[in-house]
């Protein structure tokens, strides 16, 4: 019988599971890819925007007190990028196999495939999708992960210079850098953005750098205020009641931000795929998502939305959400092909595209999660152990490789769609070095070098 911990910070605390937030966005994207499952609209672009900001937030929530230099940077890269790249390559190979069947044996452009496997195609031409289109997210995040040690130092320098005010100003500036170019383009072109411009502002990797850094800056601000609140409550019991009011206010801020995003998602008219003013959703809500993460992190987890997302059901589903996200395209196309060949069911509509069979979609959906779980338990678990050994061989890692790392409970701790990479590291830190505290350490104290 599986037992899932009730942790008030389970939506952020990586030792339990930070995945419900990301899982909600990833599951939403999986469903919205099948156009008949949800109404057409702007929602899926918001989900990716939220995911990028949250990836930066979680990365810094784990590493804010750890000095990344020398061998530790190598360890960081091996643990993050190693698992990301290998699993993404496997997903791409499945996409190539599907493409070869669809092309009836004709060979696709080898140069295009090579650029896809090197994660540079989206730099060269974001409009030219790779065989497994979902892998663009990994290509977009790779530069942010590579630059994180420098980003961490820049955010720490800003905090030393101006404290919370500097961090808030930096967050606002990063949002302007992310959203400003699209807004200027929108105004200069008579309230219109073309589809190609929308894709470049969304898929081109540099377009996501500022959103990731916004998440990092927000995590620094949340940690600072959490440490200050903890210190004040310990020194003076009279501060506990005002502290609870601040936690309540931040929870209200978090819920209000999500309410605004949700209402806009449901009520805003839709021009079409990444054109008109719809591309503004690619980065426009980044500051609201950052405020949601900041508010929800108060007091070990505050706000109704955070309480919903830390529910055990979402935590459990999040265990395989990264694999689901990457494998959704090839598995869906296999179902389409099987339906076309057998004639037993039809996954297409009258125009020959998209999902048109609710029963077929349900079977596909459960099969997708089953395939993702089997891969995670019987393939990826061995990959994780191998990467642990490789990271530990870097010279400065004194911890031993954890045993029993990939049990179902640990899979929940590793969950989080494409932010899975932070969770693997955190589980190892918790078991073999030192756990990341729910209340961060005093930001003014020097970071631990352990």
- State residue 211's pLDDT score: 97
- State residue 445's pLDDT score: 37
139 is written with which tokens? 């290509």
Global pTM? 0.79
Question: Rounded CA gap, 99 and 101, in Å?
Answer: 5
- State residue 133's pLDDT score: 87
- State residue 437's pLDDT score: 31
R_g of the chain, CA atoms, integer Å:
22
Question: Rounded CA gap, 440 and 11, in Å?
Answer: 16
Could you count the other beta carbons within 10 Å of the beta carbon of residue 96? 18
Query: What residues contact 414, with CB distance under 8 A and at least 6 apart?
Result: 319, 406, 420, 423, 424, 427
In sign, the C-alpha dihedral spanning 154, 169, 204, 259 is: positive
- State residue 313's pLDDT score: 80
The position carrying tokens 């405020």 is 291
Question: Rounded CA gap, 138 and 86, in Å?
Answer: 11
- State residue 336's pLDDT score: 80
Query: What residues contact 58, with CB distance under 8 A and at least 6 apart?
Result: 12, 14, 18, 215, 219, 416, 419, 422
- State residue 402's pLDDT score: 37
- State residue 355's pLDDT score: 59
Question: Rounded CA gap, 129 and 172, in Å?
Answer: 32
Question: Rounded CA gap, 182 and 206, in Å?
Answer: 13
Question: Rounded CA gap, 401 and 354, in Å?
Answer: 45
* Per-residue model confidence as pLDDT tens digits over 324-356: 989 988 998 888 877 777 777 677 666 665 556
Residue 315 CA: distances (Å) to CA of 27, 292, 312, 336, 414:
12, 19, 5, 30, 10
In whole angstroms, what separates CA 445 from the centre of its chain? Answer: 29
Per-residue pLDDT of the chain (450 residues; tens, 9 = 90+): 233 334 444 554 332 333 333 433 343 334 344 443 344 455 666 788 998 999 999 899 988 877 667 678 888 888 878 888 999 999 999 999 988 887 877 888 899 999 999 999 999 999 888 988 889 999 999 999 999 999 999 999 999 999 999 999 999 999 999 999 999 999 999 999 998 998 999 899 999 999 999 999 999 999 998 877 666 555 555 555 666 788 889 999 999 999 999 888 888 777 666 788 888 888 999 999 999 999 998 876 788 988 888 888 877 777 788 899 899 889 988 888 777 777 776 776 666 655 566 777 788 888 998 999 999 999 998 888 888 787 776 544 333 333 334 444 444 434 433 333 444 444 444 333 333 333 333 333 333 333
């Amino acid at each position: 019988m599986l037992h899932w911990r009730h942790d008030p910070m389970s939506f952020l605390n990586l030792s339990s599971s930070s995945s419900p937030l990301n899982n909600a966005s990833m599951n939403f994207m999986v469903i919205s890819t099948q156009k008949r499952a949800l109404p057409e609209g702007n929602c899926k672009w918001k989900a990716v925007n939220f995911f990028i900001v949250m990836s930066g937030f979680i990365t810094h929530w784990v590493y804010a007190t750890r000095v990344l230099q020398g061998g530790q940077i190598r360890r960081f890269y091996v643990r993050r990028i190693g698992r990301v790249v290998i699993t993404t390559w496997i997903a791409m190979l499945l996409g190539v196999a599907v493409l070869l069947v669809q092309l009836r044996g004709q060979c696709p452009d080898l140069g295009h495939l090579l650029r896809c496997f090197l994660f540079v195609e989206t730099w060269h031409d974001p409009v030219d999708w790779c065989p497994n289109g979902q892998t663009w997210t990994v290509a977009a995040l790779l530069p942010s992960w590579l630059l994180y040690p420098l980003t961490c130092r820049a955010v720490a320098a800003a905090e030393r210079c101006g404290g919370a005010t500097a961090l808030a100003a930096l967050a606002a500036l990063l949002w302007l850098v992310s959203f400003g170019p699209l807004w200027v383009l929108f105004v200069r072109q008579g309230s219109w953005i073309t589809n190609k411009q929308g894709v470049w502002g969304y898929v081109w990797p540099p377009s996501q750098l500022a959103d990731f850094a916004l998440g990092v800056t927000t995590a620094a601000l949340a940690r600072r205020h959490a440490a200050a609140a903890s210190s004040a409550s310990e020194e003076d019991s009279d501060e506990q009641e005002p502290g609870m009011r601040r936690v309540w206010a931040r929870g209200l801020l978090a819920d209000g931000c999500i309410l605004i995003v949700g209402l806009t998602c449901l009520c805003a008219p839709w021009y079409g795929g990444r054109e008109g003013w719809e591309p503004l959703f690619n980065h426009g809500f980044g500051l609201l998502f950052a405020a949601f993460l900041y508010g929800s992190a108060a007091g070990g987890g505050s706000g109704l939305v955070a309480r919903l997302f830390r529910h055990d059901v979402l935590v459990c589903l999040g265990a395989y959400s990264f694999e689901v996200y990457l494998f959704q395209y090839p598995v869906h196309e296999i179902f389409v092909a099987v339906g076309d060949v057998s004639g037993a069911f039809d996954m297409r509509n009258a125009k020959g595209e998209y999902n048109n069979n609710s029963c077929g979609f349900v079977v596909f959906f459960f099969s997708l999660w089953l395939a993702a779980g089997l891969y995670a338990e019987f393939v990826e678990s061995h990959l994780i152990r191998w990467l642990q050994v490789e990271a530990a061989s870097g010279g400065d890692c004194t911890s031993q490789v954890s045993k029993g790392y990939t049990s179902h409970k640990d899979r929940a701790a590793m969950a989080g769609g494409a932010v899975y990479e932070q969770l693997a590291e955190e589980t190892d830190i918790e078991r073999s070095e030192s756990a990341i505290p729910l209340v961060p350490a005093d930001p003014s104290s020097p970071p631990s070098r352990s």
